[in-house]
Amino acid sequence: MNITEPKCAEGHAWTQFFDRDNPSGYGDYETLNHLLNENPGKLCKKPTAIDARLVSNNAPYQSANQVVTISTISGFYCVNSQNSGLCKDYKVRFCCPSAGKYFIEYNACDTLKTFILDYPFFKAYTKASVLSGSFTQFYHQFTRTIPVID
């Protein structure tokens, strides 16, 4: 089987891998809507590519030879009743814009601090807030006022 790796366009970057569900029950559902709700700020609403892999060995999803649905609109899911036996356990990542748009890690102050200091648009506005020790107050204001990346 010849499997082509998905490509992430220039000016875009892959997110981390997400594994929100297990194949028990009706199947393995790594859907974009669920992932957006459960991981605010860690992926974009309109990804340009998706990569799905087996959790067990990191092999591309095609190697499992299962009936699955995969798209940048819905994400990824495998329905047990459409396959013989349970679906495998999968993980997904998405290709999202990165040039001038960044993922805000809501639970990682150091990441956000680095983002603020390195991103020119915010540098003048935020440097004083960050360096004056009022970073926590600014962080909460920042994460409420910046829209989620589209």
Give 28's strand partners.
Answer: 78
Contact at 8 Å (CB) between 41 and 112? no
What pLDDT is recorded for position 21?
Answer: 93
How much is the average pLDDT of 90-96?
97
What pLDDT is recorded for position 1?
Answer: 65
Instruction: Name the token pair of 43.
Output: 């992926």
How much is the average pLDDT of 116-130?
45
The set of residues, in sequence order, having a beta carbon less than 8 Å from that of 47 and lying 6+ positions away, is 32, 72, 94, 95, 96
What pLDDT is recorded for position 41?
Answer: 87
Instruction: Name the token pair of 128.
Output: 């004083």
Over residues 5-29, the pLDDT tens digits come to 899 988 899 999 999 999 988 999 9
